[in-house]
């Protein structure tokens, strides 16, 4: 039986090798990778955030936890993307200007790939003009932006405006997400949708490109 609570604890304590091993064991025991994410990895990072807010964790603890989370996610990745065939659509994804948080964005990327989307990942700290350039270059149907900071979410409306100015808004839908954002914020900045989590991001992406649910 896979020990998801030990996996959660390994991420919380920044034990990268243990996290990687336990993620492998969970898959070998036949646990659905989505369950591993929902029951171990995401709750672990949420708890890291709570500890940071409470002053129990500082940036170094957050960093090692993030590294352990990434290592475990990398193990799940192959299983999550297995089974994709014809691309459901092309998505350009990135974390917005000034923001270096990429765990949630990577999770959304992997889930989109798993759902059959072709994903062009621009990484972190992506300027509005980079999103525009990539959307044009790859003829993407969707631009997906992630922001974790209340300061950096303000780069999202700049990107929407830049896509507008480049004449792309008729061709490209925009979805936003990340802990700093909300449905109301998405509406306010004239985005086409908001994804609360990685699974929500997939349903929304399907809806926005008109792919079957």
Give the footprint of ligand B1M on this chain (CB under 6 A): 42, 45-46, 48-49, 52-53, 59, 62-63, 66, 98-105, 107-108, 144-146, 148-150, 175-180, 195, 197-198, 201
Q: How far is the CB of 88 from ligand B1M (least distance, A)?
A: 15
Strand residues in 131-191 grouped as ranges (E): 142-146, 173-177
Q: Can you tell me the distance from the alpha carbon of 167 to that of 141, in angstroms, rounded to the nearest whole number?
A: 14
Q: How far is the CB of 199 from ligand B1M (least distance, A)?
A: 8
Q: How far is the CB of 38 from ligand B1M (least distance, A)?
A: 9
Picking from 67, 55, 56, 117, the residue whose alpha carbon sits closest to that of residue 92 is 117
In sequence order, the 6+-apart residues with CB closer than 8 A to the CB of 152 are: 96, 97, 98, 99, 180
Closer by beta carbon to ligand B1M, 26 or else 180: 180
Closer by beta carbon to ligand B1M, 29 or else 100: 100
Closer by beta carbon to ligand B1M, 105 or else 206: 105
Q: How far is the CB of 200 from ligand B1M (least distance, A)?
A: 6
Q: Can you tell me the distance from the alpha carbon of 213 to that of 1, in angstroms, rounded to the nearest whole number?
A: 32
Picking from 157, 121, 162, 114, the residue whose alpha carbon sits closest to that of residue 140 is 121
Closer by beta carbon to ligand B1M, 28 or else 159: 159
Q: How far is the CB of 129 from ligand B1M (least distance, A)?
A: 18
Q: Can you tell me the distance from the alpha carbon of 207 to that of 4, in angstroms, rounded to the nearest whole number?
A: 32
Closer by beta carbon to ligand B1M, 72 or else 144: 144
Picking from 119, 155, 150, 115, the residue whose alpha carbon sits closest to that of residue 134 is 119
Closer by beta carbon to ligand B1M, 26 or else 28: 26
Q: How far is the CB of 196 from ligand B1M (least distance, A)?
A: 7
Tokens 């609360």 found at:
196
């Amino acid at each position: 039986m896979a020990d998801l609570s030990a996996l959660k604890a390994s991420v919380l304590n920044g034990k990268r090798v243990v996290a990687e091993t336990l993620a492998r064991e969970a898959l070998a025991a036949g646990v659905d990778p989505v369950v591993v994410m929902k029951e171990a990895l995401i709750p672990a990072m949420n708890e890291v955030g709570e500890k940071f807010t409470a002053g129990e964790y500082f940036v170094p603890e957050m960093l090692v936890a993030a590294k352990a989370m990434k290592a475990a996610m990398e193990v799940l990745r192959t299983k999550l993307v297995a089974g994709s065939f014809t691309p459901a659509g092309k998505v350009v994804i990135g974390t917005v200007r000034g923001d270096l948080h990429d765990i949630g964005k990577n999770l959304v990327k992997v889930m989109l790939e798993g759902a059959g989307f072709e994903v062009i990942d621009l990484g972190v700290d992506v300027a509005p003009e980079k999103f525009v350039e990539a959307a044009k270059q790859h003829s993407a149907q969707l631009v997906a932006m992630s922001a974790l900071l209340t300061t950096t979410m303000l780069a999202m409306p700049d990107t929407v405006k830049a896509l507008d100015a480049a004449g792309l808004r008729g061709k490209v839908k925009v979805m936003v997400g990340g802990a700093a954002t909300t449905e109301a914020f998405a509406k306010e900045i004239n985005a086409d949708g908001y994804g609360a989590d990685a699974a929500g991001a997939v349903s929304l992406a399907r809806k926005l490109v008109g792919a079957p649910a």
